[in-house]
């Protein structure tokens, strides 16, 4: 089992600072992935990845690497689906976990809403990020890290 890593779909992620703090506390490496340049703290555990200008370059970069012992932070539902299928723990910035049980319906609703918008229907967007979302995210991230650490300890012991 490889060392756990946190992958951040960084372009529109409102909880990057929280991720950096939690990762530092646990000594976990973080890959901050964006289409182009993005500022990150000067820390040996934090890696900045400019995946390139392609439409899904950052998503593809993360999906090709995320696996069983990793955590992916993204609000992108198709990327979440790919990473869940690869065995990664996936959390939205609002703290909502994407799981094998939930990702199918989440993806179906997302596709339905996309179809409605493309046909001219006004559906509104996602709700605004709230302070309670930050708290829910921190709780979900901590739970995911502890779950991975327990699984690693069980495999080693």
With a cut of 70, list the residues of the chain below it in pLDDT: 1, 104-117, 121-126
Contact 47, 32 (CB under 8 A): yes
In the chain the domains, ranked by start, together with CATH numbers, are 6-152 (3.40.50)
CB hemisphere CA count around 36 (13 angstroms): 1
pTM, two decimals, is 0.86
Span 3-42, pLDDT tens digits: 899 999 998 899 999 999 999 999 999 999 999 989 999 9
In angstroms and rounded to an integer, the radius of gyration of the C-alpha atoms of the chain is 16
Q: What is the pLDDT of residue 115?
A: 67
């Amino acid at each position: 089992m490889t060392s756990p890593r946190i992958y951040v779909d960084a372009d529109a992620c409102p909880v990057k600072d929280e991720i950096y703090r939690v990762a530092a506390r646990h000594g976990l490496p973080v890959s901050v992935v964006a289409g182009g340049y993005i500022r990150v703290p000067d820390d040996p555990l934090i890696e900045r990845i400019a995946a390139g200008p392609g439409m899904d370059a950052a998503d593809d970069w993360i999906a090709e690497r995320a696996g069983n012992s990793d955590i992916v932070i993204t609000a992108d539902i198709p990327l979440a689906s790919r990473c869940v299928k690869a065995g990664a723990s996936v959390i939205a910035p609002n703290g909502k976990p994407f799981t094998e049980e939930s990702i199918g319906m989440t993806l179906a609703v997302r596709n339905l809403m996309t179809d409605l918008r493309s046909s001219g229907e006004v559906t509104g967007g996602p709700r605004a990020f709230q302070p309670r979302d930050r708290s829910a995210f921190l709780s979900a991230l901590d739970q995911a890290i502890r779950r991975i650490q327990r699984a690693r300890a069980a495999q080693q012991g």
